[in-house]
Structure 1
Amino acid sequence: MAERVELWWARRQFSKGAEVPYPVGSYREAWSPFPALIRQYHPELNAGIALTQIPPAADVLLLWQCEAGHKFAATPDEQRHRPGRERRRSAWCPECTEAARPVRALPMRDVVTLPGSPVPAGPTRPEAPLDAAAASGAGVGTIANPVGRVVLRPRRPPRTVQLCPKTPDVPVGEAFLSECAPKPTSAVEAQLRSDLFARMPLTPGLNAVRVARPFFDHLEVWPDILLPELRVAVEYDSTGRHGLEHVGKREDADRRKDRALRAAKWEVVRIRTGRLAPLGPHDLQIAAWNRKALERLIDTLRDIRGPLLVDPYLA
């Protein structure tokens, strides 16, 4: 059971026999992928204990304050696994999330009154006749309302995936130029693309790979950079301005994309920044994109496809 931070800290002092069981900065790397939580944590609200002194897996109850001024208690694990983990900052505060959630109006449904059932007083509407299929319960569901009537309503049909028709009919694993691909917005990604193609003059301009299974209603995925001659996709990942990119559900989508590419006989290299942990066997962790990072990427391409295939493309 989670305990207050003062009691948790006193117990750690006793068990470790030290006045400061965890020095400041002990868990800086573990908290660095969550800048939104760093902004919400205030040592003065937690007995003067810094966030980097608290293990992310500690079962301790901390006091947080969001940018709107809401104070709430939560454990580190609860904060790191808030439902949604979406771009909006309200996803990190329970009160802001509740206020931002729109109230959905319930749809009006036609009600069929069974013969002989009591009808409550008030405005009435003509009864719909029951055919043989409805009377036998085929294709309908029954519920009981507060006045004891049994009403029938159609069951919801199963959701069908509407695939985008703009994907060309090319073989699985084929790279092509897609009009559905999002436009790149990262300046670092543009610099990475420019440096890589200056060093390896491969086929430029392709931005999609045909896959076998649907990926968000498309039969294509859109890696950041495609090296079609090597069948390698390069992704540039950072936590973004608010620290919500490539974490939580977005990280799950990255893993799903990688699986789709590997099933299409492609390999993926993710360049991970902002203390993001690697997702695949060939991912690179870097502090910034520079000449040294470019050489590491080329060495990784050699490990994947072999120097006999990679070196002839080097300029």
Structure 2
Amino acid sequence: MVEPVDAWWRRRQFSRGVPMPYAVGQFRDAWASFPVLIRQYHPEWNAGIVLTQVPPAAEVLLTWECDVGHVFVATPAEQRNRPGRERRRSVWCPECTVMAKPQRWPVLPAEWPTQVPAPQRAVRVAGRQTLPAAGRSRTPGDVPDGVVPAAAAARAGVVPPGAVPTGAVASTRAARPGGRRGGARRPSAAAREVCRKTPRVPSGQAFVSVCAPATASAVEAELRQALSDRFDFTFTQNAIRLDKPFHDHVEAWPDIILPELQVAIEYDSTGRHGLEHVGSREESDRRKDRALRGVGWEVVRIRTGRLPALGPYDLQVSGVSGRTVDRLVDTLRDIRGDLFVDAYAR
């Protein structure tokens, strides 16, 4: 019977009559040939039990984390017996597997170039209803079971994805894979390489990242200094660990991070040419805010240049001034409470 790791450990302690049923390193040789599983296992998520204390055949639920950051539960036998065809670069994760396997239509044999797969429902063709016939033999040139000719499918109103109806002209966008003018389909988040420089810290924790870009805005530095003059916050962290990739990283880099309050502050302007934080870049800002809120953080954006507010606590201002800092402090009090924020006042 499969059971949680803490209940399994207590049961083994009782049956063996010792506080440590399995010594550290007892099953080291059994796990030595699975370096990926060793990397995915974290003792702090498994009642402090290290992997070399777990028998490979134990029916116990263990918590694992893939390289992207997805956390899942599986038994030792399930992890050791994953088929190689389901692994992606020898790293298995249920969520990554789903995202890395998009739905595709099957490739038909070359001798049937004009045939298309029939839909799951019955198709009425030429006044009769055709259904897949199981076990029927066919002669050379016959149509395979469950497949109808393209002309009959067109008459029935069945057009497969990517096919061009009769009389229509394929556009340049539709003719290219993925429907994009640039050629091949853009790889999914699971298929792209994710930076591995992010330290293995819990999701939502602030840390110092080697990938974070340096501060390039004088306004951000001015705003950080104004907050530092009023509050004793920690301003050394520059990244927050996420639970899913964001632009090939599992971390986000807000302009200002207040770990004591778990509040991230962003300064947004349209830039010199009026193209910053608009259009697709605005959608990226929304994705970033959702990713931060998903790990327990709140986001305050100071929006200038007539940029619209994206969140409930965003401030629309003409520029950073003393009044702007006062409004920001009041917003922090609204988010976390007066007593909590004022506890860090200088």
Output the TM-score relative to the length of structure 1: 0.50
